[in-house]
């Protein structure tokens, strides 16, 4: 498989990948290395993993990182309640301590969390580690170990080796600098806001009902809007919401009704000051230039 066939495979799932991204994904697949994706919110980082899993017809295992995420939630945990009950029941039946111990520390009593689940699948899954920058540095270090060895050591059970190496995709929004060690371990791709042509292709792939004229207007408008000084710049997801809103309201031309355009801006502008800044005059000026 070459990177162009991968790009077409993603396009079949309505995901328009840039050449750079397709190449990075292709290498991550063929070299079996994790891929680190960075970029602004709403440029389709998480979506890549979902679409990749769908195109390869495999499972997507997602680990959403947050501050305070620890091994118990990311890798594995023993089912304590069940263990306690078993110990009680065994005491009444007069079972010996050793056999109870062997039983309660077996795979049946193990709760698999995403990282362990990802390395014990039969078919290579896609493991999405979302917003890695939100997790603590300690967790990042542990993750490095798992990604390097593809094995998890459970003291009571021994080492579990990967049956298949998962396809690992990490995303980051840059709220904290990631360690150089993690960056070095991964391949890297930076996703920027798409060019006009790419964004138009995305709109056509996702909302095929939008007419060419309106589609060009929507994309032009959003691209112009990104040039304004906004607190929260609208991403691709917002652009698609905007298009859906206009379609739902039966708008055929952006410049036809200033009031409706202003109302639909709620799909693009997500803070109060941004909404105050883009007044009817501004939106009309942008819409006029976008046409």
Partner 1 sequence: MSRVTKFAGRDPGPAARVAGFLAHLRENGLKLGVAEADTALAALTHVNASNPSDAKRALRAICTGSKDETTQFDALFDSYWMDAGRVHSKVIPKSSTSTAQDNVHSSRDAQGEAGGGAGEATTPDGGDGEAESDGEGKLVATEVRNLMRKDLRELVRPEDIARAEDVARRLGAALRDKRSRRRIAALKGDRLNFRKTMRRSLATGGEPLTLIKKKRPDRARKIVVLCDVSGSMSVYAQVFLAFIAALLRNDPDADAYLFHTRLVRITGALRDKDPMRAIGRMSLMADGFGGGSRIGHCLARFSETYARKFVDGRSVVMILSDGYDTAEPDLMGTAMAKLRKRGCKTLWLNPLKGWRDYAPIAAGMAAALPHLDHFCAAGTLADLAALEQELAKL
Which residue in 9, 38, 53, 239 binds partner 1 (CB under 8 A)?
Answer: 38
> Are residues 221 and 286 in contact, defined by beta-carbon separation less than 8 angstroms?
yes
Site for partner 1 in 183-222 (CB under 8 A): 183-184, 186-190
Site for partner 1 in 17-36 (CB under 8 A): 19-20, 23-24, 26-28, 30-31, 33, 35-36
Q: Is 78 in the site for partner 1 (CB under 8 A)?
A: yes
Site for partner 1 in 129-148 (CB under 8 A): 136
**Token pair 């091994």 is at which residue?**
71
Residue 110: name the closest of 140, 71, 141, 82 by CA.
82
Distance in Å, CB of 180 to partner 1, minimum? 6
Q: Is 226 in the site for partner 1 (CB under 8 A)?
A: no
Distance in Å, CB of 94 to partner 1, minimum? 12
Phi-psi region of 42 (alpha: psi -120 to 50; beta: other; left: phi over 0): left
Pick between residue 133 and residue 241 the one whose CB is nearest to partner 1.
133
> Are residues 119 and 156 in contact, defined by beta-carbon separation less than 8 angstroms?
no
Judged by CB under 8 A, how many residues of this single chain contact partner 1? 44
- Pairing status of strand 167-172 against strand 126-130: parallel
Pick between residue 17 and residue 219 the one whose CB is nearest to partner 1.
17
Pick between residue 122 and residue 177 the one whose CB is nearest to partner 1.
177
Q: How many residues does the chain have?
A: 291
Q: How far is CA 196 from CA 35, 202, 238, 253, 278, in A?
A: 26, 10, 15, 18, 21
Beta-carbon contacts of 76 under 8 Å, excluding residues fewer than 6 positions away, are 110, 111, 112, 113, 116, 152, 154
Q: Which residues contact partner 1 by CB under 8 A?
A: 2-3, 19-20, 23-24, 26-28, 30-31, 33, 35-36, 38, 66-70, 72, 77-78, 80, 83-84, 87-88, 90-91, 97, 100-101, 136, 174-175, 180, 183-184, 186-190
């Amino acid at each position: 498989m070459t990177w162009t066939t991968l790009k077409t495979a993603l396009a079949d799932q309505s995901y328009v990948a840039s050449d750079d991204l397709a190449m990075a994904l292709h290498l991550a697949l063929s070299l079996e290395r994790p891929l680190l994706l960075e970029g602004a919110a709403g440029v389709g980082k998480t979506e890549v993993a979902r679409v990749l899993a769908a195109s390869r017809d495999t499972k997507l295992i997602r680990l959403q990182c947050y501050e305070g995420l620890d091994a118990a939630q990311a890798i594995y945990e023993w089912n304590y309640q069940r263990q306690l009950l078993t110990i009680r029941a065994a005491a009444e039946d007069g079972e010996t301590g050793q056999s109870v111990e062997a039983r309660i520390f077996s795979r049946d009593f193990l709760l698999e969390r995403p990282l362990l689940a990802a390395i014990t699948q039969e078919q290579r899954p896609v493991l999405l580690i979302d917003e890695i920058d939100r997790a603590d540095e300690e967790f990042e270090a542990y993750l490095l170990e798992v990604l390097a060895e593809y094995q998890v050591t459970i003291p009571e059970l021994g080492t579990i080796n990967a049956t298949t190496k998962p396809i690992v995709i990490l995303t980051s929004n840059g709220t904290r600098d990631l360690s150089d060690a993690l960056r070095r371990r991964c391949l890297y791709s930076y996703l920027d806001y798409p060019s006009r042509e790419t964004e138009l292709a995305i709109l056509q792939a996702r909302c095929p009902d939008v007419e060419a004229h309106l589609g060009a207007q929507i994309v032009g408008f959003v691209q112009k809007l990104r040039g304004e000084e906004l607190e929260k710049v609208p991403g691709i997801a917002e652009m698609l919401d905007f298009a859906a809103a206009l379609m739902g309201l039966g708008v055929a031309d952006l410049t036809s009704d200033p009031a409706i355009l202003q109302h639909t801006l709620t799909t693009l502008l997500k803070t109060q000051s941004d909404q105050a800044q883009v007044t009817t005059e501004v939106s009309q000026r942008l819409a006029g230039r976008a046409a």
